[in-house]
Amino acid sequence: MLELSDHIGLEDIQSAARIVYANMPPTPQYRWPLLCEQLDADVFVKHENQTPVGAFKIRGGLVYFSHLASSGEMPAGVISATRGNHGQSVGYAARQHGIPCTVVVPHGNSVGKNAAMRSLGVELIEAGNDFQESLEYALELADERSLHFVPSFHPLLIAGVATYSLELFNTVDNIHTVYVPIGLGSGICGMIAARDALGLDTRIVGVVSAHATAYSQSFSSGRLVESPVTTQLADGMACRTPQPAALEMIGRGVDRIVEVSDGEVAAAMRMMFECTHNTCEGAGAAALAAATQEQSRISGRKIGVVASGGNVDRDVFAKVLGS
């Protein structure tokens, strides 16, 4: 099994892709003319909102559990912590392997994401006021119940989610810049791994919420910085404490990090719907929000934006569209 210190190469990502494609087809990357017109750029959207769980995380879960099964040490039960999309990934893969799955979420978590996890057979526990507190409680329960803890950041998860980046780069030539939202870091680290494995010079721009700036502050200062989370819309980027290994990889492989406000995210959600008729959750529209913020910088260039997920509650999306 890959360890955090291991380099993730092309062979690792291609091996992960075989596992992913046994369960789901590649997702599309579309060039939407109205988006190109809005941004005055050649814009390709990587539609990870169109996976079986509506987010990119499923790829990592499938790969992680496949390796767990092949190790011959399949646990009697698993547990994890999430704001929603990682939990769906773990629940989806655990159900495939017939393993009981427990997921801890913060109080006030997305109603829709909670319902989706329960539909996968997950035992859902609400604990803590944010992801970090839920994570700490999940680790305690793992010890108490002798459950295997599935982390949100692991090289097998990175190799799995890197398959969407490999699809993008293998389909669209000469992308100048790609914008990727940062939650705990697996998605952007997968993008770095795929870009480097293919020897490309595409610039990778990380995107965080302006109301959850732990990664941007850490990136700027060159050290791990915790920061409070106040975002009301981008729950998928609501990170208070960066993952050290992710931060190290981001520091080496990312051109810059852009902060986007909830207002900019809401505008990007509306733009995505108006221009492509796709639904994106807050984190899923953050890349487009960042590209819009940097419109003068990307004018005339070929860019990619990752629509990392579409799991937004109906009332939240209705409010965004109506504002």
What is the tens place of the pLDDT at every residue in 152-198? 999 999 999 999 999 999 999 999 999 999 999 999 999 999 999 99
**Beta bridge partners of residue 46, listed in sequence order:** 29, 306
**Quick one: pLDDT at residue 47?**
98
Q: Round to whole Å and give the CA distance between 153 and 157.
A: 6
**Quick one: pLDDT at residue 1?**
55
Pair 235, 183: CB distance under 8 Å: no
User: Would 5 be classed as within a structural domain?
Assistant: no
Angle 94-100-102 from CA coordinates, rounded to 5°: 90
**Beta bridge partners of residue 124, listed in sequence order:** 103
Q: Are 293 and 193 in a shared domain?
A: yes
C-alpha closest to that of 12 among 201, 155, 184, 128: 155
Domain count, the chain: 2
Angle 272-275-280 from CA coordinates, rounded to 5°: 20
Confidence of residue 41 (pLDDT cuts 50, 70, 90): very high
Q: Give the pLDDT mean for 121-132.
A: 93
Confidence of residue 77 (pLDDT cuts 50, 70, 90): very high
Would the pLDDT of 199 be above 90? yes
Classify the C-alpha dihedral 3-19-105-235 as positive or negative: positive
Would the pLDDT of 6 be above 90? no
Would the pLDDT of 5 be above 60? no
Would the pLDDT of 298 be above 80? yes
User: Would 85 be classed as within a structural domain?
Assistant: yes
Q: Are 23 and 75 in a shared domain?
A: no
Q: Give the pLDDT mean for 296-301.
A: 97
Averaged confidence pLDDT in the chain = 95
Q: Domain of 284?
A: 10-56+155-322
How large a percentage of the chain has pLDDT more than 70? 98
Q: Give the pLDDT mean for 9-21.
A: 97
Q: Are 201 and 98 in a shared domain?
A: no
> What beta strand segments (E) does the chain contain?
29-31, 42-47, 78-81, 101-105, 123-126, 148-149, 177-181, 203-209, 256-260, 302-307
Which of 131, 149, 167 finishes a domain?
A: 149
User: Would 3 be classed as within a structural domain?
Assistant: no
Would the pLDDT of 308 be above 60? yes
| DSSP secondary structure letter of residue 307 | E
C-alpha closest to that of 116 among 127, 124, 108, 104: 124
| pTM over the 0.75 mark | yes
**Quick one: pLDDT at residue 71?**
87
The sheet with strand 101-105 has its strands ordered as 123-126, 101-105, 78-81, 148-149
**Quick one: pLDDT at residue 72?**
82
Q: Give the pLDDT mean for 208-217.
A: 97
For residue 61, the SS3 value is helix
Q: Round to whole Å and give the CA distance between 135 and 322.
A: 34
Confidence of residue 23 (pLDDT cuts 50, 70, 90): very high
User: Would 294 be classed as within a structural domain?
Assistant: yes
CATH number assigned to the domain comprising residue 126: 3.40.50.1100
Rg over CA atoms, the chain: 18
Q: Are 17 and 120 in a shared domain?
A: no
Would the pLDDT of 4 be above 70? no
Would the pLDDT of 73 be above 90? no
